[in-house]
Structures are given as C-alpha cells and as structure tokens.
Amino acid sequence: MTINQIALVGETEFKTAFDYYRYISPCNYAGIRVVNALSGSYLDFEKLKRSQIILVTRDEPKRFCRFQILLAFSRLHGIPVILDMDDEILNLPKSHPDFISGFYADSLPAILAAMYSVDAITVTNEHLRNYASRYNDNVVILPNYLDPAIWPLSSKADREIGHTEDAEKKITIVYSGSNTHSPDLNEIAESIISILNEFKEQVIFKSIGVPLPKSMTDVKGISYISHLSYDFREYSRLLREESADIAVAPLNNNNFNMSKSPVKYFEYSSAGWPVIASDWGPYKEVIKHGFNGLLASDKAGWMACLHELIMSKEKRDNLNHNAVQTIDNFYNISKHSREWLSAYESIVRSGIRRKPKVSLQILEEIKNIAIALEAKDRFKQVHEQSDGLDE
C-alpha cells in the first residue's frame, strides 16, 4: 500500500522539537501528508478513514476514553495505530525533575496500556527498541535527524569569512535545554566554576532554559536566561542568534539517558559552536574526539577540554567545521526520509496486531508506576505545607 497520508492524534499548543524530529520533517521530505485528526477535543473520523496510518504522540494515551475510541475505530477500519516514543518515560530516574514533581505520574498507567495495545511503536535508538519490545513485538527504530531547513548546515568559520574577531572579546560558554536538564548541568558545575575562576573575567557562562544548581547561582560570570521558545522554528532562530563560542552537552550516565539522541550536538553545531559532550551514550556514537567535537568524562576532562577551546579559536573553528560536515553527511533528514516511508509501509503490511498475554515485566512496571504516584503525592504534600507556611 502507498503511504500518502497519516493522521496525527495529539494535542500540542506549539510545534515542538518532538513534533519536528519525529514526524513533521521526516514526513515532509518523504512526501507524506500529515493531517491533524482532532477537531477541537474530538476525533475527526473522516480524516482518520482517509489515512493509511494513525500516529499518536506520547501524551495522547492519558486521554484514556478518547484513546480507547481511537483504538476501536482503528480495528473496525483496519488502520494501524503507531505510538511514537523518544524517552523511557515509565522509568524516570528519581532525581529527574518530572519524577519529583509527578508530572507524568497520572499518565503512566495509560501509557503502559497504550504500549501494549498499539500496532507498532517507533523509537529513536536501539536502547529504546529493547525497552519497548518488552511490551510490543513490533518496534521500529527511526533515529532523530537534523532538518537543514530549520537548522542551516554551514560552519561559523564559513559564515564569518573576512571577519576579524575582537581580541578583547570574552569567551562565552553556553548550555541550552529545558528545566529537566538541571541534573545534567549539575554534573559539570564544578568544572565551569573552576574555569571561570582561572580565567577571571575573560570567560563567561550562560545557561538557556536550564535552571542553575545552587552551587552556580551566585558565581560571577554565570547567567541564566529563561527558555527561548517552545515553538521549535522560533527556538532555532533565537538560539542561532545567541552570541557564544563553546557549547557544552553534559549528560548524566544513567539508564534513562540511554534513550537520548545527540540532537543538542546537531543544533549547537548548526549555531556555529564547537561542542564538548559527555563521553558516553548518544554523543560517543557521533563525536570523534578531537575531530568533530570533544568528549569528557570527569572534572579533569571537562576542564582540559574547556581550556583547550578557550585558548584556540582555530581549534574551535575546525571542530565546528568538521561537525557540520559530519551532520550533513550522516544525520541530514533530507537524506534519510526514506526510512520513515519504508517503516510505515512495513507496519501497514503487518496489519492490526494480535495482543500477547500480559508478561511479568508489565506487572513490574505497574509496581514502578505505584512508586511514581507515591512520589507525586509526597511532592504535593510538601508544596501544600509550604503554601500554608507562606500564609
């Protein structure tokens, strides 16, 4: 069957990074039309019937009644339902801000049921495939690739030909992300503080969207900027307008982060910044140390990498140039969109999936969900007590 239209079911106020990486950009380059199958908060059954695939986002299953109606409709009309996942959401580490706040806790039972019920799950890497395969026997890897229409692929040195850098200019180190990345920033806090103390006012650090850990809040030369935009195109434009010289991509070494993709490396490189990243997981797969980026695994390693790039503009330019070439050659979505088309065609050929029996692994996940719900209750109680004291 030819795939020319998929129906998207998922409510988002903005088109986020998830939306562009997981379906908008790939489908655009693959020539697949994506239609919004919601009319307000209701399913648009005509759009669903005209589609070959129904794609649901990670947050959709929590709208349980609507999702069950969607599943029933899909079985009646023989249209497979795909759940796309880019995180191991059922196993958030206890230090993760979303676990502490219980942000996803109420949604976890519905997400677990959806993983078990849908006809296929698409994920970003092998780790997530192994994880999702516990609950569904049709899991397909579709990696995250960069869209050059949103993130232009030209190095900073190429854009600044003929430009002479001000010798008195301060070197700016930047880190950008969401509030969920605070634990990652905390991993390199000591290294950043030590570098700033060594270079005095020659080097500054700014965190964009990632709240500073306590150890960094009152340090001279460190600043925090609130998140630039949740609209992905706008975020790209604003980030590339930021003045910076070095970008850092720390990532705590834990099981949950094994599901991450090297998209920060892609985006920083497009912005024209050489990248220092944690020496494991997604970054180790794409960065060749000393050629298209630098890798660090401890405080001494981070300081050494930072020192090297602070001292050499030539090194910064070379790393960024090679990074852009690497991304264009191997991680450019315009060269990989066929993977989406092939995956969707294979899922359609497989048809509506027969459900296996409940496994012991699912029972274990139900136990983990109960723990997450208890954590949410504790978080709520602490805040209620805090509000009472304020009054």
Picking from 145, 205, 194, 136, the residue whose alpha carbon sits closest to that of residue 17 is: 145
Q: What is the pLDDT of residues 35-47, one digit of tens each?
A: 999 988 899 999 9
CA dihedral 339, 343, 346, 347 (to 10 degrees): -170
Write the DSSP string, 299-347. HHHHHHHHHHHHH-HHHHHHHHHHHHHHHHHHSBGGGTTHHHHHHHHHH
Asked if the model's pLDDT at residue 386 lies above 70, the reply is no
Compute φ and ψ for 123, nearest 5 degrees: -135, 175
pLDDT tens digits for range 101-153: 555 666 777 888 888 889 999 999 999 999 999 889 999 999 999 999 999 99
Instruction: Using the predicted structure, report yes or no on whether residue 2 has a pLDDT greater than 90.
Output: no
Mean pLDDT score, 346-356? 80
Domains plus CATH for the chain? 5-145+337-388 (3.40.50), 156-331 (3.40.50.2000)
With a cut of 50, say whether residue 389 has pLDDT above it: no
At 161 the pLDDT is 52
pTM above 0.75, yes or no: yes
> So what's the pLDDT on residue 63?
86
| d(C-alpha 143, C-alpha 289), whole Å | 22
